[in-house]
Structure 1
Amino acid sequence: MNSHEIRFDCRQRGEGGPLVIVPRIDGAPLTELIDVFEIAAGMRPAGDAYGGLIPEFFRFGPLRDHFLGRSTGTRGPKTPVLGCECGEWGCWPLMARITATTDLVIWDRFEQPHRTARDYAAFGPFRFARHAYDHALGDLCAAVAPDVDDTRA
């Protein structure tokens, strides 16, 4: 079983704007991966609909917990991994089940909750080696809050 590589890009939205987090899988932004999938599947609307998550706009709780599927402020058992291109995750989110074990973190069962008829079964699953995933989360947490003690596993 091959594992994917993950990184979390963190950049400002516009000049002086809030921080935006976009997962990058195997070097490609998740926003691009989902655009290609939805367009190829003939979904409408599709393309340029998603943006990164903006923690300043919604209190997800600790980012480490959020990206391990333990976010307390979201709806249901799935976790938003992308938000709308407008900046609000609730407007047009991409949700995923995140399962963390000792060895792996798996993102699967993707959905667009505003279009429940859409079939994302062929998107993913993405499997990440746990130690590499934890390292990427540590880098994200350090970038978002560099003054906070990094507690990498």
Structure 2
Amino acid sequence: MTSNDIRFGCRHRGEGGPLVIVPRIDGAPLTELIDGFENAAGMRPAGDAYGGLIPEFFRFGPLQDHFLGRSTNARGPKTPVLGCECGEWGCWPLMARITATADFVTWDAFEQPHRETRDYAAFGPFQFDRHQYDDALQALSEAIGSDVDVTCA
């Protein structure tokens, strides 16, 4: 399996609004990837339902821990990788199992916990080179510290 590329897009929601984080996989926002998958699978509701995570609205803990699947405040064994378009992750989250090893970080077993009958088996898995993933997390941490709109590399 070839590795995917991950970056974390960071922007403010509206002028002076809170910081929103949207993972980008192979250059595409995860919000677009999941919208395309759900629409193609005939899932309803679908399209424009997801938004990025807003750390200011929820205490995820250190984002490095969160995006390595070690968030202490998530529900169960899965980690929210997207929230609702309204800004609240608990409203309409996209959850994933995040598994980290010395060489790779894998996102798989996606689910929408409010629609348990939905089948996401064909979405992903996404496997990232651990060094590239750690670099992207470091860039995210630095971007949040500088509080600028960037695509975190």
Q: Shorter chain as normaliser: what TM range?
A: over 0.9
1:54-95 per-position Cα deviation (integer Å, ceiling 9, x unaligned): 000000000000000000001100000000000000000000
1:97 matched residue in structure 2 = 97
The unaligned stretches of length 5 or more in structure 2 are 148-153
Residues paired across the two proteins, number: 147
Deviations 1:12-47 (A, max 9, x none): 000000000000000000000000000000000000
How far did 1:146 drift?
A: 3.5
- For 1:61, give the aligned amino acid: G
User: Corresponding residue for 1:34?
Assistant: 34
The aligned runs of 1:1-153 (5 Å cut-off) are 1-146=1-146
Task: Give the Cα separation in 2 of the matches to 1:146 and 1:9.
Answer: 14
Displacement of 1:137 in angstroms is 0.2
Q: What corresponds to 1:150 in structure 2?
A: none
Q: Gapped runs of 5+ residues in structure 1?
A: 148-153
Give aligned-pair identity as a percent: 82
How well do the aligned residues superpose, as a CA RMSD in angstroms? 0.9
Higher relative CO (Cα under 8 Å, sequence separation at least 6) belongs to 2
* TM-score where L is the length of structure 1: 0.95
Amino acid at match of 2:113: P
TM-score (norm 2): 0.95
**Code of the aligned partner of 1:35:** D
1:108-148 per-position Cα deviation (integer Å, ceiling 9, x unaligned):
0000000000000000000000000000000000001249x
- 2:139 counterpart SS class: helix
